[in-house]
Amino acid sequence: MSYFDAASAAPLHPVARQGLLAALDEGWADPSRLYREGRRARLLLDAARATAAEAVGCRPDELVFTSSGTRAVHDGVAGAAAGRRRVGRHLIVSSVEHSSVLHSAERHTAAGGSVTEVAVGRTGAVDAGAYARALRADTALACLQSANHEVGTEQPVTEVAEACRAAGVPLLVDAAQSLGWAPVPGPWSLLAASAHKWGGPAGVGLLVVRKGVRFAPQGPADERESGRAAGFENLPAIVAAAASLRAVRAEAAAEAARLRELTERIRARVPELVADVEVVGDPLRRLPGIVTFSCLYVDGETLLHELDRAGFSVSSGSSCTSSTLTPSHVLRAMGVLSEGNVRVSLPPGTPAEDVERFLAALPGVVSGVRERVGAPVGAAPAAPGTDAAAAAGEPGGAPSGPGAGERVVDAVGRRCPIPVIELARVIGQVPVGGTVRVLADDEAARLDIPAWCEMRGQRYLGEEPADRGSAYLVRRVS
């Protein structure tokens, strides 16, 4: 079995296991006590804090340990916003932040604050200038991930941090995906991370608040961790987290080069091996071990099950693999295909042979899933006797209702990838310049139909309200 979901949780690093076992014997006492066992526990906690701070690039007294990366984000956003309440209650986030940041933003809005969500391009990266333009006199805090957890795209943290510093606004960086590889550059103000992303144990997060940043901890008061993280410290897990962070950093340069070569191999060969695939994310500014692609005409949940049966554990942002039946907010924000989405995130130490086995198995798995859902084979043929010059039509002109040269596809009540499959089946039956009106109520159709048009060279005319669901209008170009 090959585990390819390190972006969710990396396997426990051997050094983490050793540190955990050792600290279970030596670090069980209360580190706030003055007797021998307490002093011993305090020495372990202080050493772990110093080790983690060195890896982050901050002072030990700026770093506290939390019960998770999610807790670190929530506490960081709430504390920074409260500390700067006199300045204002405006918060800036990107549209592809981790759900913990977006949920913090929702809570901020519910409490009377305002939020500006900065959009991303098709690679998943924000424009640093857009962040600068979003800054206002009442901005209390800006948030930006260091690298995206679903597609691996690295964000321009340094440029955004410099713009925020010039405006006197603190920047909180969610460094969960990248901290195991390198320190986060730039003059950021707050940072959050999670140990299980770099091979440490689950249940340990980091929250860094730079000196000089106004910060008012929210929630129950506690004298532990500078009052910023309530509850008794899980010292064995903290020791294991710090030890594993130091260990993965020592291996990072060589392992990053090796994993980058493997993911580049996947990015290059998947489109050669599998038809109708969109590889997403920035091709250059990206984390070493993550590669994401989406396959047309594929049921994402079935694809993941079949890959699991073939011996590969991968993740997906397809709507049919989520309990909400909505596409990943990251893929939606990028405007890329969501159906048949596969995220491969290689843990350190992944053998090249496992990647080759995956590439050998993938074409047959995708073909089998497509056959199961009745996907079309090959591009739709041109309708006889049509004039390609009629394809352009009026720029952006969409018919207001069914008429001559238009076909209606009723896919209401049918989930991905059926609306796109039905569109592909009928597009060749309308004349060049004619339209297809797809009726659908699946949230993924709003993303996947425009993506299909771009992949197939057809013109997406837009969306209109319909009696049932929405109507998506497509003009045949060729």
Residue 379 pLDDT class (50, 70, 90 cuts): very low
**Is the domain of 127 the same as that of 242?**
yes
Mean pLDDT check: name the lowest of 146-160, 253-267, 312-326: 312-326
Q: Taking the mean position of all CA atoms in its chain, how far away is CA 281?
A: 10
Residue 63 scores a pLDDT above 90: yes
Q: Give the total residue count for the chain.
A: 478
N- to C-terminal Cα distance for the chain? 44
pLDDT at 313 over 80: yes
Question: How far apart (Å, rounded) are the C-alpha atoms in residues 96 and 317?
Answer: 13
What CATH number did the domain enclosing 339 receive? 3.90.1150.10
Same-domain status, 91 and 188: yes
Closest CA to 126 of 94, 158, 152: 94
Question: Rounded to an integer, what distance in angstroms lies between the CA atom of residue 120 and that of residue 218?
Answer: 31
10 Å CB burial of residue 371 (0-12, 13-18, 19+) is: exposed
Query: What six digits make up the tokens of 81?
Result: 């916003």
Give CA–CA dist 163/49, Å, rounded. Answer: 30
Among 134, 104, 108, smallest CA distance to 119 is for 134
At residue 364, the 3 state secondary structure works out as: helix
Q: Is the pLDDT of residue 394 over 70?
A: no
Query: Is the predicted pLDDT of residue 285 greater than 50, yes or no?
Result: yes
Contacts for 476 with CB less than 8 Å, ≥ 6 apart: 391, 427, 428, 430, 431, 432, 433, 434, 435, 436, 458, 459
Give the pLDDT band of residue 319 (cuts 50, 70, 90).
low
* Contact call for residues 300 and 328 (beta carbons, < 8 A): no
Average pLDDT over residues 181-192: 97
Q: Which pLDDT band, with edges at 50, 70 and 90, does 386 fall under?
A: very low
pLDDT score recorded for residue 375: 83
For residue 118, tell me if it sits in a domain: yes
Interacting residues of 9 by C-beta distance below 8 A, sequence separation 6+: 196, 197, 202
- Token pair 């350190």 in the structure block, residue: 348
Considering the entire predicted model, what is its pTM?
A: 0.88
187 and 215 housed in the same domain: yes
Query: In angstroms, what CA-CA distances link 345 with 61, 293, 457?
Result: 33, 12, 30
Q: What is the percent of the chain with per-residue pLDDT over 70, rounded to a whole number? A: 93
Give residues with Cβ within 8 angstroms of 247, minimum separation 6. 13, 15, 16, 199
pLDDT at 388 over 50: no
pLDDT digits (tens, 9 = 90+) for 1-25: 899 999 999 999 999 999 999 999 9
Give the H/E segment covering residue 291: strand 290-295
Using CA atoms of 32, 37, 40, 46 in order, give the dihedral in degrees to the nearest 10.
Answer: -20
CA angle in degrees (0–180, nearest 5) for 257-259-261: 70
**pLDDT at residue 398 tops 70:** no
Q: What is the pLDDT of residues 401-416, one digit of tens each?
A: 555 568 999 999 988 8
pLDDT > 60? residue 381:
no
pLDDT at res. 229:
85
Task: Please say which residue of 215, 231, 248 terminates a domain.
Answer: 248
Q: Domain containing 93 — which CATH number? A: 3.40.640.10
Domain match, 226 and 330 both? no
Q: Which helix (H) or strand (E) holds 45?
A: helix 36-56
Cβ atoms of residues 300 and 372 within 8 Å: no
Number of domains in the chain: 3
User: If we measure between CA atoms, which residue out of 150, 467, 132, 460 comes closest to residue 289?
Assistant: 150
Q: What percent of the chain has pLDDT over 90?
A: 79
- CATH of residue 410: 3.30.110.40
Residue 243's φ and ψ, nearest 5 degrees, are -65, -40
Domain boundary among 373, 397, 414: 373
- Does 379 fall in a domain? no
Instruction: Kindly state whether residues 205 and 289 are assigned to the same domain.
Output: no
The continuous run of DSSP H or E covering 264 comes out as: helix 235-273
Same domain (yes/no): 292, 304: yes
The one catalytic residue among 143, 295, 320, 416: 320
- Compute the average pLDDT of residues 387-402: 42
Question: β-strand 63-66 against 205-209: which pairing, if any?
Answer: antiparallel
Judge residue 112's burial from the number of C-beta atoms within 10 Å of its C-beta, 0-12 exposed, 13-18 middle, 19 or more buried. exposed
User: At a CB cut-off of 8 Å and minimum separation 6, what does 324 contact?
Assistant: none
Let me know if residue 215 belongs to a domain: yes
pLDDT, mean of residues 422-443: 92
Q: DSSP states of 197-261 as a string?
A: GTTS-SS-EEEEE-TT------SS--SGGGGTS-S---HHHHHHHHHHHHHHHHHHHHHHHHHHH
Q: Do residues 240 and 264 both lie within one domain?
A: no
Q: What is the token pair recorded at 126?
A: 């924000």
Residue 164's pLDDT band, with cuts at 50, 70 and 90, is: very high
Question: Helices (DSSP H) in 154-196: which residue ranges?
Answer: 157-167
Same domain, 309 and 327: yes
Q: How many CB atoms lie within 10 A of CB 188?
A: 27
Which of 191-195, 210-214, 444-448 comes out lowest in average pLDDT?
Answer: 444-448
Residue 3 corresponds to which amino acid? Y
Write down the pLDDT at residue 478.
85
Q: Dihedrals φ, ψ of 63, to 5°?
A: -115, 130
Look at residues 248, 269, 286 and tell me which one is the last residue of a structural domain.
248
With bands split at pLDDT 50, 70 and 90, how would you rate the model's confidence at 321?
Answer: low
Per residue in 439-454, pLDDT tens?
A: 999 888 998 999 999 9
Say if 3 falls within a structural domain: no
The neighbour count for residue 425, using CB atoms within 10 Å, is 16
289 with 225, same domain: the answer is no
Catalytic annotation on 320?
yes
Tell me the DSSP string of 50-66. HHHHHHHTS-GGGEEEE
| 348, 392: one domain | no
Residues 73 and 182 in one domain: yes
**Paired tokens of 288:** 């070493």
- Domain that includes residue 273, residue range: 252-373
Structure confidence by residue, pLDDT tens digits, 453-477: 998 899 999 999 998 899 999 999 9
Q: What is the pLDDT at residue 90? A: 98
- 79 part of a folded domain: yes
Assigned token pair, 414: 């049918």
Contact assessment for residue 237 and residue 2, using Cβ atoms and an 8 Å cutoff = no
Same domain for 281 and 405, yes or no, is: no
